[in-house]
Chains A and B, each alone.
Chain A
C-alpha cells in the first residue's frame, strides 16, 4: 500500500440525504454561503461545497450520520438530537454538539392510552406497571425505536416492570394493534398520538429534540481539517450573527465621546469599526434586530439627523465561540 504523505484525508461533512431535514439543512448552509453541490444526478451520495476543495459532503440518512460521527468517519454532521442521544451512549465524550439549528423540532414522549385516566405521570406508570406484572405475570410492553432513551428515562423514574418491543415504524399504532401497552415516540403536534387514542404523560417529554450541527471528536483533526472546520464555523457564525443583528448608522454633531459605553449598556450595541470615536461624528453600531428601532431613536435624541438601519449578510468576528468550543474538545492543533 502506498500512502502519499502530503495528501491528507478530506474534511467530511455529513448531511441528510432526503426529506425535510435535507431541505432545511441545505437552506441553512446556503444562508451561510456554503453551497452544497451533489455529484452527477440526485442519486450520487457524495458532493462538495463550492469553493472549499478539501471538504467532501456525504449525503446519508440522519441515523447513519450519527454512526459516522461516532466512528470518526465524518467531521461534522447535521442530525437530530434524538438520534444522537439514542445511538451514542457516551455522546458527550465522543461528540461535540456545536449548535442547535432551529429546525426538525420534535419531542420524544412517553404516551399511554387515553383510557388510562388514572395515569398522568411516570410515578403513576411505575405503580401501574408493577400491578400489571403482579396480576398478569407479564411485564407491560413499550413499543419504541428509542430503546436506549427509554431504558435510561424509565430507570431514572424507577419504572422497572416493563419490556421493550422494538418498533421501526408506525409505533403509535402498536397499542391499538395489541402489540404493546405504551409507546415512546417522537411527536410534533400530538395529533398522531390523539388519532391513535394515546396521550403523552404530563411530566415529559423525555427530550426536546431538534436538528443539531454535531462534530466528531474521534475523527482525525489535522491542520487541513481544522482549517475547514474554522472556515465552515466562521461562515455559520457570520450568517447567524448577521441574521440576528442590524447595523445602525448615523452621523452625530461631533465625536461620540462616551456614547459607545452608554449604548452597550442600554442596547447591547457594539461599535462596528472599533472603539475610537470618529472626529466627524460618524457612528456605526451592531445591535440585536429587536432593539434597532430603540437605538435609532436614541441616536436621533443625541443629535443625529438621519439614522439608517441596515440588514446584514454576514458578520465575521475575530473571535468565534463555536470554533473555540470545538477547539477546547479536540485540543489546539
Chain B
C-alpha cells in the first residue's frame, strides 16, 4: 500500500492535535483489517457535481488540466476511495479500506483544508453485519482518539419500504424523500408550496380521465397547434406524463388522511433501538402494512450493533433522520460530541450501494462507510 509522505508533513505542520487523534483512529481501523489507501487528490469535478449537485460547486477548489477538463481537490474521501477500488483488481470483490489525510472544501471562515479519517467496506453480502461493523468501528475509533460521541441512526431502506407499502404516487414519494433530506417536516412538505403554478386547468381537466396514450396525443396536438418543433431534452411522452401526474394531484386531496397519519406516526418514531423496533412493528401491524424484509434487516442490524458493544444508551434511532436519498440507500448515521447536540457531526456515514454503478461499475456493489472529521472531535476545538 502506497502512503503519501506529503500528507504526513502537512498534517504535522498544521494540525498537530488532529494528527495524533487521526492516527489513533486509523490504528483502530488497521487493526480491524481495513487496509490503508491513499487515493488521488485531484479528480474530475464533474463526478462530485453529478453526485451532489451544483450546490457544492462553491465549496470545491477547482482547477483544470491542459485539455481544459475541470478538476477539483477531493472534497471528501468516499468517492475517491470508491474510484480507486473500482480501478483496482479487487473491483466487485470484497475489499475494506481505511484512510487518513486532508480533504478540501472552501468555507467562509477558516482553512479550506481539514483532516479526515475513515473506512469504507465494499462487496460484503452480509449487509447488516457490515453496517454494524463499520458503524461500531468508527464510534470506537472516535472514542479512542478523542472521546465518546452520541450517535443518531436512520434507515433509508425502511422509509422506502414504507412508501412502497403505502402505494403512494411516484410524485409524492419523490417529494417526501427530497423534503425530508432537506430537513423539512411532513406538514411543510405536504401542505407547503402546492403542486405547481401550472395555470392550465383546462388541459388538466381534459386529462383527468385520459390514459398515457391519450395524454401524449393531446400534448402532441398542443405542440403542433402552437407550431413548436419538439426541441430540448424531454419527449412529448414525458410532458404528457407530467400533465397526468398533475391532473391526478389536482383531483385527489393530497395523499389522503389515513396515509398521512401513518407517515406522521412513522416519522415520530425515535429513541432507543429496541423500543423503536417494537414501535415500528406495532405501527406496521396496526396499519396492515408489510414492511417485512426492511424491518427484519433493521432488527438484525440492531442486534449486530448491540453485540459489538457500542454504548447503546448513547445511540438513538430517528425515523425522520435521512440523508441524501440519491446517495444513501439504507443505514445512515451521524455522531457528535454529546454536550454539543447542535454542532455539525464529527462522524457521519451510511450505506451507499448505488455509488459504484454511478461511477461506472456494471452493477450495484454493496458498500458502507464512515468518515470522521478530526477537528470536530471533542477537544479539537481551537
Contacts and interface: CB of A to CB of B under 8 A. Distances in A.
Given A134-B174, A137-B358, A151-B57, A121 B232 contact: no
Interface residues of B, number: 39
Interface string A97-124: 0000000000000001111111011011
A72 to B, nearest CB: 20
Nearest to A157: B193
Most-contacted residue by chain B among A116, A117, A155, A162 (CB, 10 A): A117
A121 B239 CA distance: 15
A28 interface: no
A12 to B, nearest CB: 29
B126 interface: no
Contacts of B239: 115-118
B149 interface: no
A128 to B, nearest CB: 7
Contact of A127 (B219, B230, B232, B242): B242
B213 interface: no
B31 interface: no
A133 B324 CA distance: 14
B55 interface: yes
A118 B222 CA distance: 11
Interface stretch (B18-26, B32-40, B114-122, B195-203): B195-203
Given A112-B232, A139-B50, A160-B53, A121 B197 contact: yes
A123 B242 CA distance: 13
B242 A128 contact: yes
Interface string B185-200: 0000000010111111
A18 B171 CA distance: 51
Contact of B234 (A137, A181, A197): A181
Given A120-B199, A131-B174, A115 B358 contact: no
Given A123-B197, A131-B174, A135-B238, A115 B230 contact: yes
A140 B358 CA distance: 16
A272 interface: no
Contact of A121 (B55, B196, B231): B196
B53 A140 contact: no
- Most B CB contacts (10 A, CB to CB) among A116, A120, A128, A133 go to A116
B198 A115 contact: no
Interface string A129-149: 011111101111000000110
Interface string B355-375: 000100000000000000000
Contacts, number: 107
A203 B229 CA distance: 24
B147 to A, nearest CB: 35
Contact of B233 (A113, A134, A148, A164): A113
Contacts of A133: 326
B167 interface: no
A124 B196 contact: yes
A202 B46 CA distance: 30
> Which of B46, B200, B236, B242: most chain A Cβ within 10 A?
B242
A151 B54 contact: yes
A202 B234 contact: no
Contact of A163 (B50, B58, B196): B50
B238 A113 contact: no
Interface string A163-180: 110000000000110000
Contacts of A132: 233-234
A133 to B, nearest CB: 8
Contacts of A123: 193, 196-197
Contacts of B178: 130, 160
A191 to B, nearest CB: 16
A154 interface: yes
Nearest to B229: A197
Interface residues of A, number: 43
B228 interface: yes
B234 A124 contact: no
Contacts of A162: 53-54
Contacts of A81: none
A175 B233 contact: yes
A181 B233 contact: yes
Contact of A140 (B195, B198, B230, B233): B233
Residue among B53, B171, B233, B358 with most chain A CB within 10 A:
B233
A71 B97 CA distance: 45
B234 A164 contact: no
B54 A115 contact: no
Contacts of B242: 118, 127-128, 131
Contacts of A121: 196-197
B226 interface: yes
Contact of B197 (A137, A175, A203): A203
A161 interface: yes
Given A113-B233, A120-B199, A176-B231, A161 B222 contact: no
Contacts of B246: 118
B197 A120 contact: yes
B275 interface: no
A163 B238 contact: no
Interface in A164-212: 164, 175-176, 181-182, 197, 202-203
B255 interface: no
A161 B177 CA distance: 14
B243 interface: yes
Interface in B128-171: 171
A125 to B, nearest CB: 9
B380 interface: no
A120 to B, nearest CB: 6
A116 B53 contact: no
Contacts of B226: 114, 117
A128 B241 CA distance: 11
Contacts of A175: 231-233
A115 B174 contact: no
Given A123-B197, A139-B50, A164-B54, 5 more contacts: A89-B58, A115-B236, A127-B242, A130-B178, A151-B57
Interface of A: 89, 112-118, 120-121, 123-124, 127-128, 130-135, 137-140, 147-148, 150-151, 154-155, 158, 160-164, 175-176, 181-182, 197, 202-203
9 contacts: A115-B223, A115-B236, A123-B193, A124-B196, A139-B53, A151-B58, A158-B182, A182-B232, A197-B228
